[in-house]
Amino acid sequence: MDNGLIKPIKEINTFHELLETQKKVWGLEDIDVVPTHLLKVVSDEMGPKAVILGYFLDDEIIGFTLTLPTSNPQEVIMHMLAVATDFQRKNVGYNLMLKLRELMLSQNIDKIFWTFDPLESVNANLYLRKLGGIITRHSIDYYGPIESRMHSGFPTDRFIVEWNIRNKHVENRIKDGGKGNCSSSQLNCPYDDSEVQFVEIPLNIQELKKEDISGAIKIRMETRSKFEEIIEKSNYVGLDFIYDKINRKGSYIFKKPLSK
Ligand SMILES: CC(C)(COP(=O)(O)OP(=O)(O)OC[C@H]1O[C@@H](n2cnc3c(N)ncnc32)[C@H](O)[C@@H]1OP(=O)(O)O)[C@@H](O)C(=O)NCCC(=O)NCCS
pLDDT of residue 28: 83
pLDDT of residue 256: 86
CA pair distance 254, 248, nearest whole angstrom: 20
Q: How far is the CA of 90 from the centre of ligand 1 (A)?
A: 8
Q: Which atom of ligand 1 is nearest to the CA of 94?
A: 12
CA pair distance 83, 197, nearest whole angstrom: 31
CATH number of the 1-96 domain = 3.40.630.30
Look at 249 and 192; give whichever has higher pLDDT: 249
Look at 59 and 193; give whichever has higher pLDDT: 59
Q: How far is the CA of 259 from the centre of ligand 1 (A)?
A: 30
Q: Cβ distance 107 to 49 under 8 Å?
A: yes
Q: Is 118 in the pocket of ligand 1 (CB under 6 A)?
A: no
**pLDDT per position as a tens digit, 49-61:** 999 999 999 888 9
CA pair distance 256, 239, nearest whole angstrom: 10
Mean per-residue pLDDT, 86-109: 97
Given a cut of 80, whether residue 257 has pLDDT beyond it is: no
Q: Cβ distance 116 to 133 under 8 Å?
A: no
Q: How far is the CA of 122 from the centre of ligand 1 (A)?
A: 4
Q: Cβ distance 116 to 127 under 8 Å?
A: yes
Q: Is 97 in the pocket of ligand 1 (CB under 6 A)?
A: no
Look at 224 and 149; give whichever has higher pLDDT: 224
Q: Is 93 in the pocket of ligand 1 (CB under 6 A)?
A: yes
Q: How confident is the model at residue 171 (pLDDT cuts 50, 70, 90)?
A: very high
Structural domain boundaries of the chain? Answer: 1-96, 110-260
Look at 85 and 145; give whichever has higher pLDDT: 85
Q: How far is CA 205 from CA 162, 175, 191, in A?
A: 23, 31, 27
CA pair distance 228, 233, nearest whole angstrom: 6
Ligand 1 pocket test, pick from 3, 67, 91, 126 with the greatest ligand atom count within 8 Å of Cβ, gives 126
Mean per-residue pLDDT, 152-177: 92
CA pair distance 158, 100, nearest whole angstrom: 22
pLDDT of residue 1: 75
The closest residue, in CA terms, to atom 23 on ligand 1 is 203
Q: How far is the CA of 44 from the centre of ligand 1 (A)?
A: 30
pLDDT of residue 112: 98
**pLDDT per position as a tens digit, 203-215:** 999 999 999 999 9
Q: How confident is the model at residue 244 (pLDDT cuts 50, 70, 90)?
A: confident
Q: Is 125 in the pocket of ligand 1 (CB under 6 A)?
A: yes
Mean pLDDT, the chain, as a whole number?
91
Q: How confident is the model at residue 249 (pLDDT cuts 50, 70, 90)?
A: confident
CA pair distance 130, 91, nearest whole angstrom: 10
Q: Is 83 in the pocket of ligand 1 (CB under 6 A)?
A: yes
Q: How far is the CA of 88 from the centre of ligand 1 (A)?
A: 6
Mean per-residue pLDDT, 116-126: 97
Given a cut of 60, whether residue 258 has pLDDT beyond it is: no
The closest residue, in CA terms, to atom 5 on ligand 1 is 93
pLDDT of residue 180: 73
CA pair distance 159, 119, nearest whole angstrom: 10
Mean per-residue pLDDT, 217-239: 96
Please give, one letter per residue, the 3-state secondary structure of 168-217.
HHHHHHHHCCCCCCCCCCHHHCCCCCCCEEEEEECCCHHHHHHHCHHHHH
pLDDT of residue 151: 61
pLDDT of residue 177: 80
Q: Is 180 in the pocket of ligand 1 (CB under 6 A)?
A: no
